[in-house]
């Protein structure tokens, strides 16, 4: 998906370097009549290596560079000199990048921390020079090994946004507005559906100079797990959030039904998403008077039971500190508690 500078899915063709050939050389020197074999080994071919970089957040670098090749190893030479290794190619990718073999769909690895290195195509080994093959019965071998070819692969890079809290909700639920109010992020905001076409990240400042990361995931609609709307292509970003914040406007026809639809879409996409911690934020509550708010509160206590919920208004800045407190409490709870 591409929106502006945000790209979260690319396909690449990578080629590692070929190993250098071993040398077939017999030692020749003025005062040494039969120096014997002294051909050196070939150098290793270069690897193609993916490296995690915490300063990146998109795969835009690969928009116009889809073929990546590493250097070939140098050939061996006389006096058992080993050929130079081929130059490795390092590809920096954002944290949260899944590396998949395009042809088999098998996951090769995942990049989850800074400076993590994953070799996706190993360089070929260099061939052995003829001095390895000398023996009492073959004192002047006139052969050596060729270098081994490098690997060629088609790989797919799939970015899954890493964040502490992921915002989940229907289009136009107010997710972008909330993110813009409690972080310094500047997502696109408008009074129509699907204004957000890419995940947006923001850092939420908390008490005592602490913070956590929140991600605004583009709106999910009913049937997103079957590919309807925009939700399906962004559901994978929710997989990496430790806590899910469901944002449901107070003027929804049925708040609990909207929550169940959202939850069902997550379950159909990946049942493991239901194991994540959840918090409900009832948005736009500045539209409610005290009586309506109390009525809604009574109903939500019956519906949500053990799931925590908070009344908020991003525009009027109501309940935001309470929401931060609740999220911080869940993010830092004892896993064994």
Asked whether residue 170 is marked as a ligand-binding residue, the answer is yes
Asked whether residue 20 is marked as a ligand-binding residue, the answer is no
Asked whether residue 197 is marked as a ligand-binding residue, the answer is yes
Asked whether residue 284 is marked as a ligand-binding residue, the answer is yes
Asked whether residue 169 is marked as a ligand-binding residue, the answer is yes
Asked whether residue 176 is marked as a ligand-binding residue, the answer is yes
Asked whether residue 285 is marked as a ligand-binding residue, the answer is yes
Alpha-carbon span 16 to 73, nearest angstrom = 10
Asked whether residue 175 is marked as a ligand-binding residue, the answer is yes
Beta partners for 247?
Answer: 281
Asked whether residue 219 is marked as a ligand-binding residue, the answer is yes
Asked whether residue 135 is marked as a ligand-binding residue, the answer is no
Asked whether residue 147 is marked as a ligand-binding residue, the answer is no
Alpha-carbon span 129 to 131, nearest angstrom = 6
Asked whether residue 194 is marked as a ligand-binding residue, the answer is yes
Backbone angles phi, psi at 101, to 5 degrees: -75, 115
Alpha-carbon span 101 to 11, nearest angstrom = 10
Asked whether residue 196 is marked as a ligand-binding residue, the answer is yes
Asked whether residue 217 is marked as a ligand-binding residue, the answer is yes
Alpha-carbon span 292 to 285, nearest angstrom = 10
Asked whether residue 283 is marked as a ligand-binding residue, the answer is yes
Alpha-carbon span 110 to 94, nearest angstrom = 11
C-alpha 159: how far from chain center:
4
Asked whether residue 243 is marked as a ligand-binding residue, the answer is no
Asked whether residue 173 is marked as a ligand-binding residue, the answer is yes
SS3 223: coil
Binding residues for GTP: 169-176, 194-198, 216-219, 283-286, 313-315
Binding residues for Mg(2+): 176, 196
Binding residues: 169-176, 194-198, 216-219, 283-286, 313-315
């Amino acid at each position: 998906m591409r929106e502006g500078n945000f790209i979260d899915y690319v396909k690449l063709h990578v080629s590692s370097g070929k190993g250098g050939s071993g040398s077939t050389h017999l030692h020749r020197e003025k005062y040494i009549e039969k120096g014997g074999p002294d051909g050196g080994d070939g150098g290793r071919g270069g690897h193609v290596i993916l490296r995690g970089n915490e300063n990146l957040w998109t795969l835009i670098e690969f928009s116009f560079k889809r073929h990546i090749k590493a250097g070939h190893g140098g050939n061996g030479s006389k006096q058992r000199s080993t050929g130079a290794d081929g130059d490795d190619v390092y590809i920096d990718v954002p944290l949260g990048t899944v590396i998949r073999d395009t042809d088999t769909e098998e996951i090769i690895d995942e990049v989850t921390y800074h400076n993590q290195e994953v070799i996706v195509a190993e360089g070929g080994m260099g061939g052995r020079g003829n001095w390895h093959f000398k023996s009492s019965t073959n004192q002047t071998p006139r052969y050596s090994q060729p270098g081994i070819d490098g690997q060629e692969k088609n790989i797919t890079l799939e970015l899954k946004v890493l964040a502490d809290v992921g915002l989940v909700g229907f289009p136009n639920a107010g997710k972008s507005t909330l993110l813009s109010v409690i972080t310094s992020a500047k997502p696109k905001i408008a009074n129509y559906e699907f204004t957000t076409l890419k995940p947006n990240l923001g850092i939420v400042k908390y008490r005592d100079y602490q913070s956590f990361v929140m991600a605004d995931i583009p709106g999910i609609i009913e049937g997103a797990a079957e590919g309807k709307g925009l939700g399906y292509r962004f559901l994978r970003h929710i997989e990496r959030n430790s806590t899910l914040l469901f944002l449901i406007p107070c003027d929804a026809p049925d708040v609990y039904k909207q929550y169940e639809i959202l939850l069902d879409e997550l379950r159909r996409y990946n049942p493991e998403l239901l194991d994540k911690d959840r918090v409900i934020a009832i948005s736009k509550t500045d539209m409610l008077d005290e009586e309506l708010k109390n009525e809604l509160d009574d109903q939500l206590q019956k519906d949500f039971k053990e799931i925590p919920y908070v009344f908020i208004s991003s525009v009027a800045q109501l309940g935001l500190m309470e929401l931060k407190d609740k999220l911080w409490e869940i993010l830092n709870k004892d896993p064994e508690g």
